[in-house]
Amino acid sequence: MQPDEDRGISGQRAPLDADLVEAVLTLVEQVPPGCVVSYGDVAELVERGGPRQVAAIIARHGDGVPWWRVVRADGRLADPVRDRAAPLLVAEGVLVRDGRVDMRAHRWQP
């Protein structure tokens, strides 16, 4: 399996679109410290894909961008990265309580 692929509903991997990968990573780079966006926000802002595709792109290609600023729509930090993301967000002034960010207080509105 290639690193630039994502699992489809059949369980088989489908290629991630290179242009979508670039658009997602470029947008995530723009999220300022102290702010967060949801996976769905990112998809809407780049006008392509959906939350799961955004999550897959960040999981596979997000090491060079502030991935910790992308959270679930309800403000929860994704389970696989919660322990790494929480201290990074707190260091930026984001209040994280019980693994959740207050989206009303910290959501980035570009």
Name all domains of the chain by residue range, CATH numbers in brackets. Answer: 5-105 (1.10.10.10)
Let me know: does 96 contact 63? Beta carbons within 8 Å.
Answer: no
pLDDT score at 93: 98
Average pLDDT over residues 43-58: 96
pLDDT digits (tens, 9 = 90+) for 57-97: 999 999 999 999 999 999 999 999 999 999 999 999 999 99
Let me know: does 93 contact 110? Beta carbons within 8 Å.
Answer: no
The pTM for the full model equals 0.85
Place 103 in a pLDDT band, splitting at 50, 70 and 90: very high
